[in-house]
Amino acid sequence: MGQPVKPLKVAPSLLAADFTRLGEEVKDVEGAGADLLHLDVMDGVFVPNLSFGPVVCQAVRNVSSLPLDVHLMVTNPEVLVEPFAAAGASRLSVHVEAVTHLHRLLTKIGEAGMVPGVALNPLTPLSSLEEVWPFVGFIVLMTVNPGFGGQSLIPQATEKLARLSEIRARVAPHVELVVDGGVTVANAPALRQAGADTLVAGTAVFAATDRRLAIAQLKGGA
Ligand code: DX5
Ligand code: ZN
């Protein structure tokens, strides 16, 4: 019954890792089936929290061959494009709410050798993507207010994802949809059904007793 459901990619968010053992944590989720690694960069201005910058990205690059998916939650992302390219980032997303000259910035990210992405806060309308599609490889749909790991997914976000997926199918089928925030094994099937290609999961992976099983369940294969 219904549409065949494609397997998801899972991107563990390193924010939920044990930072005293970051190298081991990275190796562990890589061995457990992670498809890419999600790095949350916070500046204490765009979001009420601070995390880490290019130095940590470089350290992760040194121990992993997985693609590094860097999510910039900062007010002035322009200045971080080259430092993250140099630190081995594979993909770089910026918040549509934080940027005035989005075309220039997305072009700069691509020219620096990374895949450009755009992230949307929970109540930012999908119409803000209307001109963006030709210039991105992926969209990050925030399903919590950015700033912290371990929050609960905002229920209305699943229906927003379904609308985003419908638009994507019409205007830019090659663009990947990434869901970020409050993803769990319990809500993953609904997110998959609503059109997610990639699930970012911090707590759901790093706090799991069996991370391999958690990743397999998030993907829908266990
Ligand atoms: C929130 C971050 C998320 C977060 C996800 O600001 O963008 O990537 O780390 O963590 P969980 O999966 O625990 O909600
Ligand atoms: Zn994130």
Question: pLDDT tier at 114 (50, 70, 90 boundaries)?
Answer: very high
| pTM beyond 0.85, yes or no | yes
- Contact predicate 153/181, CB 8 Å: yes
Ligand having the closest approach to the CA of 91: 2
- The pick from 200, 211, 218 for probing ligand 1's pocket by mutation, whose C-beta has the most ligand atoms within 8 angstroms, reads 200
Q: What is the mean pLDDT of residues 4-28?
A: 92
Candidate list 28, 43, 69, 180, residue with the active-site label: 180
Given this model, what pLDDT does residue 168 score? 98
| Active site (annotated) includes residue 40 | yes
* Annotated catalytic residue, options 28, 35, 40, 69: 40
Q: Which of 118, 91, 116 is nearest to 35 (CA)?
A: 91
pLDDT average, residue stretch 170-174: 98
- In angstroms, the CA 14 to CA 149 distance is 10
Respond yes or no: is residue 180 known to be catalytic: yes
CB of 93 closer than 6 angstroms to any ligand 1 atom: no
The pLDDT confidence band at residue 1, using thresholds 50, 70 and 90, is very low
Average pLDDT, the chain: 97
Best residue among 37, 41, 121, 180 to mutate for probing ligand 1, ranked by most atoms within 8 Å of CB: 180
- Compute CA distances 207 → 7, 8, 34, 201, whole Å: 22, 20, 15, 10
Ligand 1 pocket residue status of 122, Cβ below 6 Å: no
**Domain layout of the chain by residue ranges:** 9-219
Find the mean pLDDT for residues 38-65.
98
Q: How confident is the model at residue 221 (pLDDT cuts 50, 70, 90)?
A: confident
For residue 183 and ligand 1, the question of a CB distance below 6 A is answered with yes
Q: Architecture of 9-219 per CATH?
A: Alpha-Beta Barrel (3.20)
144-168: per-residue pLDDT in tens? 999 999 999 999 999 999 999 999 9
Average pLDDT of the segment spanning 40-62: 98
Distance of alpha carbon 214 from alpha carbon 41, whole angstroms: 24
Element at 141 (helix H, strand E):
strand 138-142
User: Is the pLDDT confidence value at 72 over 80?
Assistant: yes
Can you tell me the mean pLDDT for 113-139? 98
